[in-house]
Amino acid sequence: MAQSLQQLHQRFAGRVQFECLEGPHAAPDAWGGRSWIATDNGEADDGSEVKWSSTLALVKRAILAHGPYDGLWGYSMGAATSSLLVAALPPGTFRFAVLAAGYKTAKQPKLLALLADATPICTPTLHIHGQSDGIILPEWSRYLMDHFDEGTRELCTHPGEHLAVPKTDAGLRQVELFLSRQGAPWGWRATARRSDGVDRPWDHRNEAELEIAKSTPSFQLIPGQEPVLAA
């Protein structure tokens, strides 16, 4: 994940900041690391509810202590978790979510009901999926996309495998454009003024030509080793 985020640091020239949260649960031995929600491999729904409650409480504490955050960036189980967070927390808690190699839990009725009750979720989302992903199949990501409003969701496909961030220039550009529409500094027209005094859309590639007003907000993005917050 760290190497993937480094791509974005380079692409956005330090304008995007990441804060990564560590999952509150030990992952299955075969996985190693930490996890956010129960897996679909036979855990009882009671155990699923306990894990989800701990995860939701952790994220709420992070928001209170370090927020507000702009959005979420979730990868794999983190994308599944991020979709649940967007569904569970009050509208406007996050202005957007990026869900990479996402899926919805298949065998956890309470979490499925949470998504269903919130459908259609209107928070703008970018769904990233690799066409060669052998872990999360394309249709699994589409099942998750179906819970988001058609007018605010967007699909980014790339030829890669199970990735948090596309490696292609076209994929990275689509991520960049999506973030700019959510209010990242390079997307704010009102404070973009060239030396000739004419307001024009802010093209980050020509940043040297611009005088940026001090009122331009900073933009922080928070993804976690699996889900992610942004501020």
How would residue 131 be classed by pLDDT, with cut points 50, 70 and 90?
Answer: very high
State pTM to two decimals: 0.77
| Residue 211 forms part of a structural domain | no
Do residues 31 and 1 lie in contact, with contact meaning Cβ atoms separated by under 8 Å? no
CATH of the domain at 97: 3.40.50.1820
Tell me which residue has tokens 């066409």. Answer: 131
* Three-state secondary structure call for residue 46: helix
| Domain extent for 98 | 2-13+68-186
Q: Is the pLDDT of residue 79 over 80?
A: yes
| Residue 205 forms part of a structural domain | no
Rounded CA separation 151/153 (Å): 6
- Amino acid code (one letter) for 18: F
The beta-strand segments (E) located in 144-223 are 153-158, 192-194, 210-212, 222-223
| Residue 231 forms part of a structural domain | no
Report which of residues 181 and 188 the model is more confident about: 181
**In total, how many domains does the chain have?**
1
Rounded CA separation 2/4 (Å): 5
pLDDT reported for residue 186: 39
Q: Give the tens place of pLDDT for each residue, 215-226.
A: 223 333 443 334
Most confident range (mean pLDDT) of 45-59, 98-112, 141-155, 188-202 is 141-155
Rounded CA separation 133/101 (Å): 8
Do residues 98 and 126 lie in contact, with contact meaning Cβ atoms separated by under 8 Å? yes
Pick from 154, 135, 16: which is nearest to 77 by CA? 135
